[in-house]
Every structure is written in C-alpha cells, then in structure tokens.
C-alpha cells in the first residue's frame, strides 16, 4: 500500500529552516526499513505555473492553482502495510520537519 | 428445531440474539470476508431471515451458530454476485488483514478488533460514534439519527463515508499493540462516554431531557469492553462512573425539572446499580493501593462513589470529594474540572471561597452553561440576588436541555 505524504507549511507561521540533517537521517531510516519510495522538496509556490488546455488553446497562469496561507512544501511517497504504520511514521516526520503532515492513500 | 412457538417468544428470542450476538457476528464476518460493508449487510440479512423463519421453524437450539451459518451464506452469495460484476473492484474494497494472530497477552476477539476499528483516531468523532453504534451496538440508521437529532440520510452518509475511508486508507482491522493500547483505548472510551453524556443530559429541545436509550446503550457497550479487557483500570472506571450516574436517573427529573444532587430523593436511587458501581470502585482502590495510578475515569467514578455512599446529602464527605477533584485536576488541569472542584469547595469552605475560584474561570467558560449556573447558585447563597438573576439568565439562555432550563428558571424566580 502506498501513501502520498505531504509536508504542509504555513506562510504566516513557517516551520524552521534547520531541519535538513534530521530529514536526511529520517530518510535513511525510511530506506533501511523499506518504506521509502520517493521524496522531494518543492520550490516556493511563486515558482508554480498553471496550464489549462481544456479550451481551444493552452492558457498559462503565473502562480499556484489556489492561493492559501498553507501550502505544500514537499512530498514523500511511502510504502506501508496499513494506515497505522503510515500514521506512526507521519508523527515522526512532523517532528523532524517541524511542519504538519497529510497522509493520503493512493487508489 | 423445536417446532412452532408463540410469536412473542420468537420476537423475544430474536431481540435477545440481536443484543447478545450482533457485534460478534459483524466482527467475525468482517475478519473472515475482509469487508465491513459485507459484514454489516450479511449480519442484517441473517437477522431479517430469523425474523421471517423462527416463528414457523421454531427458535434454533443454538441461535448464535444458526445466525453465523446464515450470515456467512448471505455474505458468500453477495460476494459471488459482486465478483461476477467486477472482480477487481471487489479486491480494492477488501480490508487488509495479513497479520497472523499475535500472542498479545490480550483477548484477541473479533468484537475488540471491530471496536478499535470503529473508534480509529483517523475518523472524525461523530463518524466514530455513528459507526460504533451501528456496527458494534447494532442500532439501525434511523435509531442513530433519532438519538442525535440528525437526518437519517446524514447519518447513513456518515457511516458510508467512514467505511469507505477505512477501506481506501487501509485502516487495519486489529487490536492495537500493547504500546499503542492505552492511547487507542482512551479513544474508545471517549466515544462511549460521549454517547452516555448525550443520554444523561440530552441537548435538544425536541427530546426527552434524559435519554435512557442512549445511557443504556453506552452502559451495554462499556460492559462489553469490560468483558473483553477485564484488567484495564480505566474501562472499569468508566463503567463504574456510568453505573453510579445511571443509578440516580429516576431521581434526576421530577415534573419536567432537573433535580440537583443535593435535592434528589435518594431512596429512588437504583440500589443494584449503585452496588455494582461501588464494587468496581473498590476493585480500583485496591489496584491503586498496589501502585497503579488511576486515570480520570477512575477518579470521576470515585467522586460519584463518595456521593452515592451518603444516605443523606448532609452525610457527604466533602473533604474526600475535594481531595479527589485535586487529584483529577492534576490529571486534567482543565477549567471544567476546576469549576466542579469549586462547587465541592463551596460545601467545605463556603460559597464565598468557591465564588472567588469560579470568578477566575469566566474567560474560559463564558459559553459553558454550567459555569453560569454554578455562579448563579453561589451568588444566590450569598444573597447577591441581582447578580444571581443575571447569571441564571445567562445559564438558561445557553442550556439546550428542557428540564435543566425549567429548574434554573424556578431557582431564578425564587430570588427577590
């Protein structure tokens, strides 16, 4: 079972910036325990571009598809046997990143 | 089969089997077929079949075995039908359970798995309540909707969504590990306590002030959890708390008015429930003396045991009650606990001391009607009638319980 694990940051109350060594160590453990599928941090939402080609020609819009105080700062994909395992890892991830974490199953 | 039996006996037999076997049936079907939907519907169909067949065929010698066989046949039929329709779809709906039964030192019962799944912390509280009442308690969707003054469609949707999340997110169907058990169990007890409290002080204007159907269901579920986890102190504590509260039910409402503890006719308290509650509290006191620190339900039960031990309100050991509230405040330093402690302090040290404590809580509890009711009573006892009247008005405006509103109004109208 795979879960999309989103790291949620908050523009008005951002998480700390000194987490890299801790996150790297956590990733090493995810790999060693067979949970790691993918991980990636994301550039600022200002760097996003929305493409809409449902009409006659592609429309490009500068910025994220939704402006909000909270935004996606990075994602993991984890392999876990069930939600309890994923939630226990997410509790650690939230401490390690000093940010909120959303856990969502893939279909 | 025993041959045809009178209809009312059959109805009674079905009702008894429903009470005793529903949760076990749903629990075992869920494990065997890996799917809560299939388990719920097959169990319901088995009971519907019993209602149709037992009056003519007679009540089977072993109703539990008959229901299990019938329900399993229904489940297999249904899965076969669905399988033909869409095999892959069915597979995606399967609950996950490849864990071998672990020797946990715990009772590994299907009903316990079912309870922990229904009360999973990843589900919203109202969903946990609805799912627990449906799958463990065996209440129908219309019964649950009536209990919580909701639309049937809303409750039905809530249950469907919760089951869908259990499947999609793969919430496991198992008893939590020993490490996780205390935290997860406290979530289960919170669900049962919420059901009980809604019955104890029903919040709606269009309903009876005390909902015995809900308190009785909560007691029944608490007994079940106690049967499954007999060594857990908080389970015993919650059951004792419910029993000692339920024991006073008959005396709590008089002529449509809520009667406070000090004014209740104590001869109307249920002696059997009181005795059972006291036995549980004594059991926990022995454990506490042996070094097991009690949790909040055990302390709340002990407070209720002090009250129910007094034949007359004047015999109440208030210093004991205050000491227990001190203990509770250390476990749960919330303003609500501080308020209840202050009410006990009023009996020990007088209303003036208590009022000083209560006034500190105003910023936290301004929307909480018991705060205004307690403050009003203290002001009344201090003959500060104008302030008492204003406080009663706030309390009346905030309570949703008809009997409580009537009692507060009467007390307000005794003021000059």
Contact B171 A107 (CB under 8 A): no
* Cβ contact, residue pair A83, B168, below 8 Å: no
pLDDT tens-digit series, residues B141-185: 988 888 777 899 999 999 999 999 999 999 999 889 888 888 899
Verify whether the Cβ–Cβ distance A105 to B176 is below 8 Å.
Answer: no
Cβ contact, residue pair B168, A107, below 8 Å: yes
Rounded average pLDDT over B116-135: 94
CATH hierarchy code of domain B181-413: 1.25.40.10
pLDDT at B259 over 70: yes
Per CATH, the homologous superfamily of domain A2-105 is Dimeric alpha+beta barrel (3.30.70.1060)
Q: So what's the pLDDT on residue B88?
A: 54
The fraction of chain A above a pLDDT of 90, given in percent, is 82
Which whole number is the average pLDDT over B271-292? 95
> Is the model's pLDDT at A17 over the cut of 80?
no
Residue B29 clears pLDDT 50, i.e. is over it:
yes
Residue of B nearest to A2 (CA): B169
Which residue from A minimizes the CA distance to B93? A107
For chain A, the residues whose C-beta falls within 8 A of a C-beta of chain B are 1, 81-84, 87, 103-105, 107
| Residue numbers in A near B178 (CB within 8 A) | none
Q: Would the CB atoms of B170 and A107 count as touching at under 8 Å?
A: no
Range B7-93: architecture per CATH? Orthogonal Bundle (1.10)
Instruction: Flag whether pLDDT at B206 surpasses 80.
Output: no
How far is B113 from chain A, CA to nearest CA, in Å?
14
Q: What is the pLDDT of residues A27-71, one digit of tens each?
A: 999 999 999 999 999 999 999 999 999 999 999 999 888 888 999
pLDDT band at B300 (very low <50, low <70, confident <90, very high): very high
Residue spans of alpha helices (H) in chain A: 20-32, 83-97
DSSP letter at A19 equals: -
Residue B76 predicted with pLDDT over 60 = yes
Domain ranges of chain B: 7-93, 181-413
Answer whether residue B212 shows pLDDT above 90: no
* A30 contacts: CB under 8 Å, gap ≥ 6: A36, A39, A76, A78, A89
Domain coordinates in residue numbering, chain A: 2-105
A-to-B residue pairs, Cβ atoms closer than 8 angstroms:
28
- Confirm if B39 and B76 have CB atoms less than 8 A apart: no
- Which chain A positions have a beta carbon within 8 Å of B169's beta carbon? 83, 103-105
**Residues of chain B with C-beta less than 8 angstroms from the C-beta of A107:** 92, 168
Distance of alpha carbon B365 from alpha carbon B339, whole angstroms: 9
| pLDDT of the residue at B94 | 52
Predicted confidence (pLDDT) at residue B91 exceeds the cutoff of 60:
no
Q: pLDDT at position B232, please?
A: 93
Nearest CB to A87: which of B98, B122, B168?
Answer: B122
Determine which of B93, B97, B170 to mutate to test the interface with A (most A C-beta atoms within 10 Å): B170
- pLDDT number for residue B182: 86
For residue B356, CA distances in Å to B153, B172, B378, B383 come to 48, 50, 10, 15
With b meaning 16 or more CB within 10 Å and e meaning fewer, what string describes B341-363? bbbbbbbbbebeebbebbeebee
Alpha helices in B201-232, H assignment, sequence order: 212-228
Give the rounded percent of residues in chain B with a pLDDT score beyond 90.
Answer: 71
* A105 → closest Cβ in B120, B169, B176: B169
Measured between CA atoms, how close is A74 to chain B, in angstroms? 21
Q: Which residue has the higher pLDDT, A63 or A89?
A: A89
pLDDT for the residue numbered B99: 44
pLDDT at residue B106 greater than cutoff 60: no
Asked if ipTM goes beyond 0.85, one says yes
**Average predicted confidence (pLDDT) for chain B:** 89
Q: Looking at the predicted structure, is the pLDDT value of residue A79 above 90? A: yes
**Band (B27; pLDDT cuts 50, 70, 90):** very high
């Amino acid at each position: 079972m795979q879960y999309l694990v989103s790291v949620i940051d908050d523009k008005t109350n951002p998480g700390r910036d000194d987490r890299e060594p801790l996150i790297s160590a956590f990733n090493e453990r995810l790999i060693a325990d067979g949970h790691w599928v993918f991980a990636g941090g994301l550039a600022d939402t200002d760097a996003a571009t929305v493409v809409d080609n449902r009409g006659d020609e592609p429309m490009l819009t500068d910025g994220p598809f939704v402006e909000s105080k909270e935004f996606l700062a990075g994602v993991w994909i984890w392999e876990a046997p069930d939600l309890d395992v994923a939630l226990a890892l997410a509790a650690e991830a939230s401490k390690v990143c000093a940010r909120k974490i959303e856990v969502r199953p893939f279909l | 089969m025993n041959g045809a039996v009178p209809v009312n006996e059959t109805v009674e037999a079905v009702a008894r089997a429903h009470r005793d076997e529903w949760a076990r049936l749903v629990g075992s079907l869920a494990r065997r077929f890996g799917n809560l939907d299939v388990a719920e519907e097959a169990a319901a169909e088995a009971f519907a079949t019993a209602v149709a067949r037992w009056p003519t065929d007679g009540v089977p010698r072993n109703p539990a075995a008959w229901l299990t066989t019938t329900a399993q046949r229904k489940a297999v039929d249904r899965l076969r039908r669905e399988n033909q329709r869409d095999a892959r779809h069915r597979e995606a709906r399967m609950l996950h359970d490849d864990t071998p039964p672990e020797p946990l030192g715990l009772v590994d019962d299907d009903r316990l798995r079912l309870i922990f799944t229904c009360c999973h912390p990843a589900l919203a509280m109202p969903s946990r309540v609805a799912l627990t009442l449906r799958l463990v308690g065996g209440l129908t969707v219309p019964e649950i909707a009536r209990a919580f003054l909701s639309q049937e469609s809303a409750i039905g949707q809530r249950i469907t969504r919760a089951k869908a999340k259990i499947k999609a997110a793969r919430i496991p169907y198992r008893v939590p590990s020993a490490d996780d058990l205390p935290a997860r169990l406290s979530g289960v007890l919170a669900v049962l306590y919420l059901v009980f409290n809604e019955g104890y002080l029903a919040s709606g204007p269009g309903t009876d002030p005390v909902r015995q159907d809900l308190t009785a269901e909560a007691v029944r579920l608490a007994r079940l959890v106690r049967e499954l986890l007999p060594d857990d102190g908080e389970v015993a504590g919650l059951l004792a708390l419910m029993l000692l509260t339920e024991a006073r039910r008959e005396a709590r409402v008089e002529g449509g008015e809520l009667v406070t503890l000090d004014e209740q006719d104590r001869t109307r308290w249920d002696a059997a429930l009181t005795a059972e509650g006291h036995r549980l509290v004594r059991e926990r006191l022995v454990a506490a003396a042996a070094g097991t620190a009690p949790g909040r339900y055990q302390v709340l039960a002990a407070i209720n045991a002090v009250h129910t031990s007094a034949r007359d309100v004047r015999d109440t050991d208030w210093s004991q009650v205050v000491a227990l509230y001190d203990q509770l405040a250390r476990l749960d330093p919330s303003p609500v606990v501080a308020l209840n402690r202050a009410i006990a302090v009023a009996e020990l040290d007088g209303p003036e001391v208590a009022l000083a404590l209560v006034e500190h809580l105003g910023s936290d509890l301004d929307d909480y009607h018991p705060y205004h009711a307690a403050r009003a009573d203290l002001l009344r006892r201090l003959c500060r009638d104008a302030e008492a009247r204003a406080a009663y008005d706030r309390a009346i405006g905030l309570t949703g319980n008809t009997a409580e509103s009537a009692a507060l109004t009467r007390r307000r109208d005794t003021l000059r």
